[in-house]
Amino acid sequence: MLSGKRHLFKLDPARPIAEGQLEQLCTSGTHGIIVGGTDGITYENTKFLYERLRRYDKPIYQEISHADAILSGFDGYLIPLVLNAGNPQWIFQVHQQAIKQFGNMIDWSKCQVEGYIILNERSKVASITEAKTSLSYEDILAYARLADQMLKLPYIYIEYSGRYGDPLLLRKLKHAIRNASLIYGGGINSEAKAREMSRYAETIIVGNVIYENFELALATICDDFIC
Ligand code: 1GP
């Protein structure tokens, strides 16, 4: 689903965005849009955002956080599995319950699992999943190998949501991972940060800055990413 050097914007259905801004994002040279968030995600706000996005010729993916907000029609579905969740609910229980409820309607050929490692202890997603964020490089590399070599997940997502992460960690991960594709998200709000993390991660995700400083969000797309 996501391969090669990729830049994606992540839009939160629970946060308002102007029509003109959506158009600028979708015609910016980004490779696609992920629709997802942590709080206040509903079927209705997801559908509203999806309907506005589908007018543009960009792949749109839904990152699933609430089973009752799953909408058909997306180009692909990303299913987070939080490897360092302190609350086991976020490792397999929410997935098992969602499959129990909707299992016969799921098109698995469009679904891919992201092995999430959440590292910003102040983020909302860290508090909801009770993520164990005080980890050494060795701990994080072991989670990554578990996802890559033991579970054979297609993606490992290093999530610093709201804060710029540690490039040295990304460099170590790049060398340790054999098959999975590395995704990085967190605090990218400039071309320099986008370039730095994309040296190590195949895919970089830009979220919060869209809502905080729109011009800076657009500036994260550098020549390396132009389609
Ligand atoms: C959030 O990883 C994404 O899930 C992007 O992080 O919002 O900090 O850009 P930011």
7 Cβ below 6 A of ligand 1: no
Residue nearest to atom 9 of ligand 1 (CA): 207
Does residue 226 lie in a domain region?
no
CATH number at residue 190: 3.20.20.390
Task: Look up the pTM and report it.
Answer: 0.96
Kindly state whether residue 155 falls inside one of the protein's structural domains.
Answer: yes
Q: Which domain holds residue 14?
A: 7-218
Tell whether 106 is covered by a domain: yes
**What's the rounded Cα separation, in Å, for the pair 83 and 156?**
10
Output the furthest CA–CA distance in the chain (Å, rounded).
Answer: 45
Structural domains in the chain (count): 1
Structure tokens, 30: 């980004």
In a domain, 183, yes or no: yes
Ligand 1 pocket, 205 CB below 6 A?
Answer: yes
Q: Quick check: is 227 in a domain?
A: no
The verdict on residue 1 lying in a domain is no
| Residue 136 Cα distances to 131, 133, 140, 169, angstroms | 14, 9, 6, 10
> For each of the chain's 227 residues, which pLDDT tens digit applies?
777 789 999 999 999 999 999 999 999 999 999 999 999 999 999 999 999 999 999 999 999 999 999 999 999 999 999 999 999 989 888 999 989 988 888 899 999 999 999 999 999 999 999 999 999 999 999 999 999 999 999 999 999 999 999 999 999 999 999 999 999 999 999 999 999 999 999 999 999 999 999 999 999 998 766 53
Does 189 fall in a domain? yes
Tokens 């011009």 belong to residue: 215
Q: Does 165 sit in the ligand 1 pocket, CB within 6 Å?
A: no
Query: Rounded to whole angstroms, what are the CA distances from 54 to 26, 35, 47, 51, 77?
Result: 10, 12, 10, 5, 15
77 DSSP β-pair partners: 62, 111
